[in-house]
Structures are given as structure tokens and as C-alpha cells.
Structure 1
């Protein structure tokens, strides 16, 4: 497998995003329609809460669609479900993606590891392996 030739490079579970983003829109629209269609004895506050429930469920879907790993000449940005972290190339000492792992992990110079949820078998196991190898090759080429 060859490494990406040009920066920036981004790895993300695109199929997951392609499914989740429309589902989030449908959730908000569905809950809004339900809020309008509720019987007359439901109060305005109940209708608002119904719409807000749809927004809350959609927010969770958007959070699940966030993960990605981006590399550029200066380093790597890992965006996971809630947090994102910027790493210089020298901070990454290894990339692991073992059989059965839910996503790749980065071994860091400070002895810790960081989940790279953007590289996951949800895109297809072979594609995830190729992505992890490409990132590993970039780390070997640009690391400290």
C-alpha cells in the first residue's frame, strides 16, 4: 500500500457520515411534525420539548459522525466523538490497528495512547487497514 502523496490527508468513516447526517435531519423534521400533529390538549411547552427531543437525538448522531484523522506537514489532528487533539509528528511513535480493535490507536511519546476513531473497520476492514498503514508510513517518514 502506498502512502498519500500530498497533504492534507483526511481519514474518516464516510459511509457512517453519509448515513448519520440524513438521519439527523429526518429526526428533527419527524419530531417537529409530531409536535405539530399532537392533540390539542397538549400544551405549547410539550410541543417545544418534542422538537428539542429531536434536536437532542440529532445532536447525538452528529457527535457520532465527527470522528476523523487529518494529517498535514506539521502533524496530525485527531477528532474523536467529543474531543479533538493536535499532535506534532514527533509526538507519535506508533500506529496500532490489531485484529478485533474497534479503531486505530496512536502510541504517543509520553507513554500514553490516543484512540483514532476516524480509522475504523466500519468503512470496511481492508480499507481501515490500508488507512492505518498509510498513517503509520507517514509517522515513520515525518516522525522524530
Structure 2
């Protein structure tokens, strides 16, 4: 019977603030795909001989729409500074003070980090997602957790023990 794996060492909080967390690989793939799709669809619309100007314009507008959707999907990020966290998801931005964040969670199987808030709600943080780069997301989640714990330890009373892991 094998011994259990040792718990990961606590991640030190980043020393230089502000710090931005974002799924870089996902962002690069989405923006590149958007640019390639825009060029390809626009080129097809411009190269087809039997199209009227309005039809050519509809190809370009459709390409622009697809590229815009991919740009929106590449938007998520988290910016931590001295006073709190700004969570930018696909269409909404949330500003949170450190005291509002009780826990930073990234459980096995989660698509992204969740912040447990002091009002009893939970906020998804799409800026840290383990889909493409799991090790990067785990490192970012631990760093955000360390920042949260270090900022709330000096201010408001803590919520109690936090679960260990990812």
C-alpha cells in the first residue's frame, strides 16, 4: 500500500501588485482563430464573382460577428491589487474588496475558480480555468488564494479553515 502524496507546499503570495491572472493559451487560440476566420470568410466573400456588393458586405459582417464572439470569449481575467480583486468574465465585470472574499476554490472537475463571498453567494472566475493549462491554472489559483488569505488575515476575521488542494 502506497503512502499518500504529500500536500503541496503553500504558495507564496505574489509580491508585486497589481497582478493579472488570465488563461493565456486559451486567449491566444481564440484570438488567432478569430483573426483567421475573419480573413478567410472575408476573402471568400470578396473573391466570389457572382456576389453583389451587399452580399459581399454580409460576408464581412458575418466574419466580424464571429470574430467578435471569439474576442468576448477571450476576455476573462482577474486583476488583484492592494484593495481587492477585479473579476472580468465574458460580459460582466465585478469589483470585490478583499474582505468580501471568504474562500478561493478550484476543486477537481471545476471548469474555473469560484470565489465564496461573505454574502453567501459564489462568483465564477473564468480568468483562471484549468481546461488547456492545468498546471498554470493551479498555480494561479494558489497565488490568488494566498493573496486572499494574506489580505483578509490582517483585516476582517477569517471564515475558518479553508479546504486544501487545487
Question: What TM-score results when the alignment is normalised by the length of structure 1?
Answer: 0.93
- CA distances 1:62-102 after superposition (whole Å, capped 9, x unpaired): 01111111100011000111111111111111111100000
**1:36 equivalent in alignment to 2:46:** yes
Q: Which moved more, 1:25-34 or 1:81-90?
A: 25-34
- Partner of 1:110 in structure 2? 119
Distance in 2, matches of 1:79 and 1:72, equals 14
- Flag as ranges the 4+ runs of structure 1 deviating above 3 A: none
- Compute the displacement of 1:124 (Å): 2.1
Distance in 1, matches of 2:133 and 2:43, equals 36
- Partner of 2:34 in structure 1? 24
Distance in 1, matches of 2:132 and 2:13, equals 18
Higher helix residue share? 1
Residue number among 89, 95, 98 corresponding to 1:80 in the alignment: 89
8 Å contact kept, 1:14–1:123 = no
- Partner of 2:71 in structure 1? 62
Aligned CA RMSD, in angstroms, stands at 1.2
Distance in 2, matches of 1:38 and 1:117, equals 40
Distance in 2, matches of 1:21 and 1:127, equals 19
- Residue 102 of structure 2 aligns to a residue whose secondary structure is strand
- CA distances 1:87-127 after superposition (whole Å, capped 9, x unpaired): 11111111111000000000111111100111111352222
Rg larger in structure: 2
- Any residues of structure 2 matched to 1:87-126 within 5 Å, and which? 87-126=96-135
- Partner of 1:45 in structure 2? 54
Structure 2 spans left out of the alignment, 5+ residues: 1-10, 157-166
- CA distances 1:14-68 after superposition (whole Å, capped 9, x unpaired): 011122212211122112211111232x222111111011001101110111111
8 Å contact kept, 2:25–2:133 = no
8 Å contact kept, 2:72–2:90 = yes
